[in-house]
Structure 1
């Protein structure tokens, strides 16, 4: 039974309100499904990739070059850090608050600034590391642009359109909603952002 005040409203207004409600739910559903099928592309601020993604890629390659096992985006004592070295109980983070909390909890933590050159990481680690230079095996000369194009299986001379098309194709399998992992999707986004920036610079 409808409330009495509803019967006082003109029928066209009641039908309009009901129809508007259904239309709103339908549009929201379309946007939700569209967002899952076609996830947003990474959009670096002011058209530039921020230092975090690039620095993470360089640190990842550095740790591989010194043969140090690591876990990425790992939770240590309630704090999520960018890299954790389980064999050494060493955490690497960009978050100053996490750094101080982990240090107080007894985990050796390295606070990495986004502008920190990757070779400086070796001097901050509490153990001896092999002497690796920028041309001694860290990626292809530790160049994040080369690493990004390699990850996309593209030539460094690829156009912005080729980079975008490859990203859209790869995201269909890398996205967690389509069977990929969160780490795989994040690496794809980082590679795409770096490659897109380089391709756009070349096209100017």
Structure 2
């Protein structure tokens, strides 16, 4: 089995799309491998060449989405005192642009989430921010970890709520996130300055 073979890649893509299609209709618990194969138009044997169980396929879908979005969460500056309103706006706009490019997959994963996807989404934001900023990495204190955890949870909460209750369009949601994130970051930066981290 060559994972670089075009047939393998196409079948894998079909399996992922089949799972997302089924998740639009029911929970993962109710989905069977047989159902996935019917939607993907492949045999059970083919499925098992790719994944041991449906949960492996689900985890692959989640990992692909999160890994693809990871770049959007990278800090735009290396030092806290370099953060400006323009940088914060660019950062939140990058996140929402990434959200928009994955909107179908995200909508499905968020609406069927039992809490695990929210946890994974939040962790990837926090870990990416901490690893991407040498200053935060050098001053990895309890307070810094709490601030980054709070911010990651806030961004995740905003995005997840927007998908669950789509009361506005993408540009309006992006504008709202910019305002909220700018105000929250101003408080965090002030506290970090008090602690002497910048």
Q: Give the alignment's TM-score, normalised by structure 1.
A: 0.25
Q: Give the alignment's TM-score, normalised by structure 2.
A: 0.26
Greater helix fraction, Structure 1 or Structure 2: 2
Structure showing greater radius of gyration is 1
Greater strand fraction, Structure 1 or Structure 2: 1
Q: Specify which structure has the bigger relative contact order, considering alpha-carbon pairs within 8 angstroms and separated by 6 or more residues.
A: 2
